[in-house]
């Protein structure tokens, strides 16, 4: 068995990382400095777990969940965790967050239990749960704490003491476990919605009312020429013990936000074994480093409005919809785009708006400024000039993210027409538009009636009728 233990300790190899897509709110592969970079669309990531040389020198476990010992001769004698084999899948934006572990035959120990947990970056703790310490705060205050400087566990009351000493502190969260098949394979998804302390067998400790659900492992095992020399059986019930003073299982909700520098760990569950040679000591064996993901729902565009000054100073924003026509002479100069939640100003600029006309083609260069208004959920798009009249334009928004890093999603474009004088929106300026203006003579100009004040004078009068008449026959282009 000494050779077995040595083989595992020597198995720290570098694994490749494969990103199947790029994603905002997630991270692309690391740059030269090892720092994750934000990208612009949702990502589904696949990454091979890397064999890990446990710095704590914890002994590995050589017993399955039923305390059956593995073979001490044959191929299993040289077992080690392989690189580029055990796959981790997750998305960079998901609520709740979930991780899938996929391992082929003989990649993991058979009939075996592994803890799965998240650890924050080891760094000086500043005590700011909404700033640089956001990730560690979410994992620590929902899970547990560890001080790398002292090589010791902490609690909520002592973590700030270590902050004052500039110690390297990290939060970590044991959120579940996986159990392999008889051939060492697994394909299991674990949701990050629970906080656990350790895994138990019902034969050791009775499950408490607030502990996690039971996983039954009942198997008859025959000698297989790989991991078992003799026939044996397993009849166990496994469950995770709830971490004290933390949310109940399935009730944990990590805060919305961008998580970076996170490490996912697979740790061999030792079940408090008293076997000094084979029982193990919770050795971490496989990891994924520097993970990045975003938790939270994506923001969406709720409404569009075209704003213009009427009279000397009154700005009126008229609601727009797909196929809406701007009839006012001032044209589309200012758009107000209201989103479902506040946006991050750092992600909003003139490159966020693209404008394409049917006949006048790309007009995006007219976007002069894009700013955030109100509570941060309204984008104000200012153009440097009126768009050419008698054309149809597709406005597209791309790039903005909310304060948690979630990219703007949903329907992000709208088709608007520029046809000055077309007050009834039928695609041509004719007698119907003059009648529509005349029918509103003297009406107070507000957001509901503003389209009939086509010359933007602040009153609906003969001047508007004359403007419409001057545009008789103007029409939209054929798509």
Interval 448-465: pLDDT, tens: 999 999 999 999 999 999
Q: How high is the pLDDT of residue 26?
A: 25
- Confirm if 202 and 236 have CB atoms less than 8 A apart: yes
pLDDT of residue 457: 95
Q: What is the pLDDT of residue 73?
A: 67
Give residue 146's Cα distance to chain centre.
25
Residues sharing a CB contact under 8 Å with residue 433, sequence separation 6 or more, in sequence order:
327, 421, 422, 423, 424, 468
Q: pLDDT of 117-133, one tens digit each?
A: 999 999 998 887 877 89
Hey, how many other C-beta atoms are within 10 angstroms of the C-beta on 193?
19
Higher pLDDT, 43 or 202: 202
pLDDT of residue 430: 96
Residue 333: closest CA among 374, 408, 393, 375? 393
Say how many C-beta atoms besides its own lie within 10 A of residue 2's C-beta.
7
Q: Which two tokens stand for residue 300?
A: 């969406």
Give residue-wise pLDDT tens across range 16-34: 222 222 222 222 222 223 3
pLDDT score of 207 more than 70: yes
Element (H, E) at 40: none
- pTM here is 0.63
Q: Does domain 301-470 have CATH number 3.40.50.740?
A: no
Average pLDDT over residues 194-201: 98
Radius of gyration of the chain (CA): 31
Cα separation, 468 vs 453, whole angstroms: 10
| pLDDT beyond 90 at 402 | no
Do 173 and 181 contact (CB within 8 A), yes or no? Answer: no
Convert the pLDDT of each residue in 367-385 to its tens digit: 999 999 988 999 999 999 9
Domain spans of the chain, in order of start: 2-295, 301-470
Instruction: Confirm if 99 and 263 have CB atoms less than 8 A apart.
Output: no
């Amino acid at each position: 068995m000494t050779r077995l233990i040595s083989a595992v300790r020597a198995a720290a190899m570098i694994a490749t990382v494969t990103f199947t897509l790029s994603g905002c709110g997630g991270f692309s592969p690391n740059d030269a400095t090892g720092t994750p970079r934000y990208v612009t669309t949702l990502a589904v990531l696949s990454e091979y777990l890397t064999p890990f040389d446990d710095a704590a020198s914890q002994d590995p476990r050589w017993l399955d969940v039923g305390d059956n010992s593995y073979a001490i001769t044959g191929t299993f004698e040289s077992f080690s965790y392989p690189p580029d084999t055990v796959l981790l899948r997750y998305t960079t934006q998901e609520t709740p967050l979930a991780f899938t572990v996929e391992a082929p035959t003989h990649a993991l120990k058979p009939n075996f239990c592994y803890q799965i947990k998240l650890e924050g970056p080891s760094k000086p703790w500043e005590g700011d749960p909404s700033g640089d310490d956001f990730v560690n705060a979410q994992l620590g205050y929902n899970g547990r704490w560890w001080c790398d400087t002292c090589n010791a566990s902490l609690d909520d009351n002592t973590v700030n003491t270590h902050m004052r000493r500039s110690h390297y502190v990290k939060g970590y969260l044991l959120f579940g476990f996986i159990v392999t098949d008889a051939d060492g394979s697994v394909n299991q998804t674990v949701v990050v919605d629970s906080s656990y302390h350790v895994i138990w067998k019902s034969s050791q400790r009775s499950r408490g009312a607030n502990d996690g659900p039971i996983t039954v492992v009942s198997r008859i095992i025959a000698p297989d020429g790989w991991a078992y020399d003799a026939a044996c059986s397993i009849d166990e019930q496994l469950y995770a013990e709830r971490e004290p003073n933390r949310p109940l299982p399935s009730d944990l909700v990590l805060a919305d936000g961008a998580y970076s520098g996170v490490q996912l760990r697979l740790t061999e569950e030792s079940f408090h074994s008293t076997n000094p040679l084979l029982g193990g000591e919770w050795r971490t064996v496989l990891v994924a480093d520097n993970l990045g993901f975003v938790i939270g729902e994506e923001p969406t565009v709720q409404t569009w409005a075209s704003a213009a000054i009427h009279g000397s100073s009154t700005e009126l924003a008229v609601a727009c919809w797909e196929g809406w026509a701007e009839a006012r002479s001032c044209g589309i100069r200012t758009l107000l785009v209201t989103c479902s939640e506040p946006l991050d100003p750092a992600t909003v600029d003139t490159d966020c708006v693209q404008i394409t006309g049917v006949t006048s083609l790309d007009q995006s260069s007219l976007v002069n400024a894009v700013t955030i208004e109100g509570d941060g959920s309204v984008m104000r798009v200012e153009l440097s000039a009126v768009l050419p009249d008698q054309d149809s334009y597709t406005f597209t928004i791309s790039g903005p993210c909310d304060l948690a890093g979630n990219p703007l999603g949903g329907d992000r474009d709208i088709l608007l027409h520029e046809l000055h004088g077309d007050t009834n929106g039928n695609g041509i300026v004719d007698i119907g538009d003059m009648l529509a203006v005349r029918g509103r003579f003297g009406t107070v100009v507000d957001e509901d009636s503003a389209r009939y004040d086509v010359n933007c004078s602040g009153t609906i009068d003969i001047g508007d009728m004359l403007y419409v008449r001057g545009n008789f026959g103007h029409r939209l282009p054929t798509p």
